Structure 1
Amino acid sequence: MNDLVTNQQKIIRFSNESLLEMEDEIAVEFPLTIVVDGDELATMVCTPTQMEELVVGFLASEGLIRTADEVVSLSLDERRGFAYIELKQKQQVTKDFYSKRFIGSCCGKSRQFYLHNDARTAKTVLSQTQITVDQCFSLMKEMQNRSVDFQMTGGVHNAALCTPDGVVIERTDIGRHNALDKIFGYCLQHRISPKDKIMVFSGRISSEVLLKVAKIGIGIVLSKSAPTTLALDLANDLGITTVGFIRGTTLNIYTHPQRIIEARVN
């Protein structure tokens, strides 16, 4: 599999009061089962790109590792859809904190993996990074301009790791949580400190998204969409600045506004 994000599908489109046969780009959906030290941990549905980053980020997000060096080996069987991981510290991943379950690509209750381990992996963020309102608009625009796969399919989420001056890396996935895990994995593999970074996100800021941002250690999350009440409760508790509805020349600052400076007044 060669980092396949989209595939062509023959469709019939109704337009201008007529039916037309044509081809459309469809987002690829791929099941990946993660096996840690011989135990099946979870099956996630993802976009089959940067899968090593995805696995490393997922393991760190779930508290099984803290650095990429704790992974002794990671091999992908892309034909069968398996990732096999050997860790330095062996763990019984299917008991207590980690019970095997399905992780869906859609929103809401299909993915319920945050239990006891969230309490020990989602720490308070002490980032001193500040950005201007204009930089919020600029970073969102840059991420959207880079989002070619979304422009083709409308069926993926995008996340971008940024400095105040621009995008460092962007990742795409059908699952918003997977896009964040890919960025987390990239940071661990390349020893990139997240403390002075910003997360720019295409989707809703849910409690799960907020927890992942906290686990990565980023103090500012920007979104073109809305937050949820639980996400804002967590953001207040964990010291994360949340900015939503970044569209055109407007935005909403919900929590810890001290990191957003030079607020624009209409």
Structure 2
Amino acid sequence: MNRDMTYNQNILKYENNQFVETTDFYVTEFPLTIMINGEEFATIICSPKNFKELVLGFLASEGVIFSGKDLKQITIDDSKGFAHVELTHPIDPRTKQYTQRVLSSCCGKSRAFYFNNDVQTSKVSQSKVTINADQILSMMERLHSESKVFKQTGGLHNAAISDGSEFYEHRSDIGRHNALDKLYGYCIQNNVSIRDKVLIFSGRISSEILIKASKIGVGIILSKSAPTNLAIELANDLNITAVGFIRDGSFNVYSHAERIIQN
């Protein structure tokens, strides 16, 4: 059972040169500890929804699992904040660097391949998908229109995965990585092909987000915000099309523009 994504309380607000009492909404922050084969692996600070997808996506992006076949079962105990994972195999010792590490929801400092695990799990995109300008603008508009909790609180990152036409899945979380992991987990859980899909993201395209996109396996990432220089360097190296500043009918294409075609 998932907990509420938001809380509300009475607050004192200052505006128009005076204090007024009003009600404000704020997002829920929830610690979820992942136990693998009975051992503590990591604690993720997240929004309390779509826990199973989050765990699946996180474990896949960190190279702990490669498909749903690596899992015996996942049991979520949200009353105590635990996800109990049973694998069909022991954990690779090379992944145990994450054991008992708290993964914060805060943005942190961007990095390129600063962790060995990123080198091992990031992939050069093999995607052949192409999209046009109208699809880019409409996908970003849909992400904005469906971000209801963000509009209420201003405290979440939003992400979606789409094929630009019929398929579309949207997830929100206080952690930008978590939102992407939930989408990855959804695709694993439902056997959805990823190579022909596009990631749509509300935040900045940092090197960390670009690495996450490469781990998922998509060829295109769209954002309403800016990229960083390291993200663009990685996008060029990993054959990923990065599109930013999607707003007011315009956007910038920063890498591998061959996937963006004329309307």
Same fold (TM over 0.5): yes
Q: Higher mean Cα deviation, 157-166 or 182-191?
A: 157-166
Q: Is the 8 A contact 1:61 1:121 kept in 2?
A: yes
Structure 1 unpaired stretches of 5+: none
Give the CA deviation at 1:171. Answer: 0.2
Query: In 1, are the aligned partners of 2:111 and 2:230 still within 8 Å (CA)?
Result: no
Q: Which residue of 2 aligns with 1:250?
A: 250
Q: Give me the TM-score of the superposition, normalised by structure 1.
A: 0.93
Matched, 1:259 2:259: yes
Matching residue of 1:100: 100
**Unmatched segments (≥5 aa) in structure 2:** none
> How far off its partner does 1:42 sit?
1.1
- Give the aligned residue type for 2:2: N
> Equivalent residues in 2 for 1:50-199 (5 A)?
50-91=50-91, 97-109=97-109, 115-165=115-165, 168-199=168-199
Query: Following the alignment from structure 1 to structure 2, what is the Cα–Cα distance between the partners of residues 92 and 37?
Result: 12
Q: What is the root-mean-square deviation in Å for CA atoms of aligned residues?
A: 2.0
The worse-fitting range, judged by mean Cα deviation, of 107-116 and 253-262 is 107-116
Most deviating of 63-72 and 113-122: 113-122
Q: Deviations over 1:91-137 (max 9, x none)?
A: 15586554432211111249999722222221110111111112111
Letter in 2 for 1:82: F
Check if 1:207 corresponds to 2:207.
yes
Match for 1:183: what amino acid? L
Runs of 4+ in 1 over 6 A off after TM superposition: 110-114
1:5-16 matched pairs, under 5 angstroms:
5-16=5-16
The yes-or-no answer on 1:47 pairing with 2:47 is yes
Shift of 1:215: 1.0
Equivalent AA in structure 2 for residue 229 of structure 1: N
CA distance in 1, matches of 2:31, 2:64: 21
| Maintained 8 Å contact 1:72/1:87 | yes
Number of residue-to-residue matches in the alignment? 263
CA distance in 2, matches of 1:226, 1:179: 18
Q: TM-score, normalised by structure 2?
A: 0.94
| Residues 157 and 173, structure 2, Cα contact 8 Å, conserved in 1 | yes
Distance in 1 between residues matched to 2:166 and 2:191, nearest whole Å: 19
CA distance in 2 between counterparts of 1:259 and 1:185 reads 25
Aligned to 1:224: 224
Q: Which deviates the most, 112-121 or 14-23? A: 112-121
3-state SS of the aligned residue for 1:244? strand
**Identical columns (%):** 48
Structure-2 separation of matches of 1:81 and 1:194 = 30
Secondary structure of 1:255's counterpart equals: coil
What displacement does 1:69 show?
2.3
**Alpha-carbon deviation of 1:206?**
1.1
The answer on whether the counterparts of 1:35 and 1:82 sit within 8 Å (CA) in structure 2 is yes
Higher mean alpha-carbon deviation, 161-170 vs 130-139, is at 161-170
SS at match of 1:246: strand
Structure 2 SS opposite 1:108: coil
| Alpha carbons of structure 1 residues 48 and 111: separation in structure 2 relative to 1, 3 Å | farther
